[in-house]
Amino acid sequence: MPTSRETILTALHTRLSVLPAIVLRGEVLPERVPAAGLLILRDGEPGEPEVTLSPLAYHYQHRAEIEAVVQGANRDAAFAMLTASIGAALAEERTLGGLCDWIGAEAPQPVDLPVEGASSLKAAVIPVVLHYSTADPLA
């Protein structure tokens, strides 16, 4: 049986999969970046929970990360469209069907990465904070 954390991360991956970019989870950056862009969801860190005792509950602000990568001549515009589509996908369902209390993304800090023999990449890590509670820190 999957844990609450795994269920939430799987739901986030599924939510991102509606975007035109290829969406991977926990994979290495492939040799080729698709024309629509590439997103890699990293599980991140759940952090130290706040605890309430009656009833016992662990309240997390889990920081996952989305690596967003585009390549090509119009990479600035493509990157802007890709990040905007991520924001729209998250805003459409902030609770992932009731699995989380709230999802919020932080602003990316894009960088241009040169690639020998090809057009450069524009990439950024987008932190996504997942607010949720569990009855057990291992569940």
Q: Measured between alpha carbons, how far is 11 from 99 in angstroms, rounded to an integer? A: 8
Q: For residue 123, what pLDDT is reported? A: 96
Specify which residues 57 forms β-bridges with. Answer: 52
Q: For residue 27, what pLDDT is reported? A: 96
pLDDT at 116 over 90: no
The string of DSSP codes covering 36-48 is T-EEEEEEEE--P
Total residues belonging to the chain: 139
The whole-chain average pLDDT of the chain stands at: 94
The pTM assigned to this predicted structure is: 0.93
Cβ within 8 Å of residue 30, ≥6 positions away: 38
Contact 133, 101 (CB under 8 A): yes
The structural domains of the chain, ordered by start, are: 4-134 (3.30.2000)
pLDDT digits over 39-98, tens only?
999 999 999 999 999 899 999 999 999 999 999 889 999 999 999 999 999 999 999 999
Contact 49, 59 (CB under 8 A): yes
Main-chain phi, psi angles of 12, to 5 degrees: -65, -45
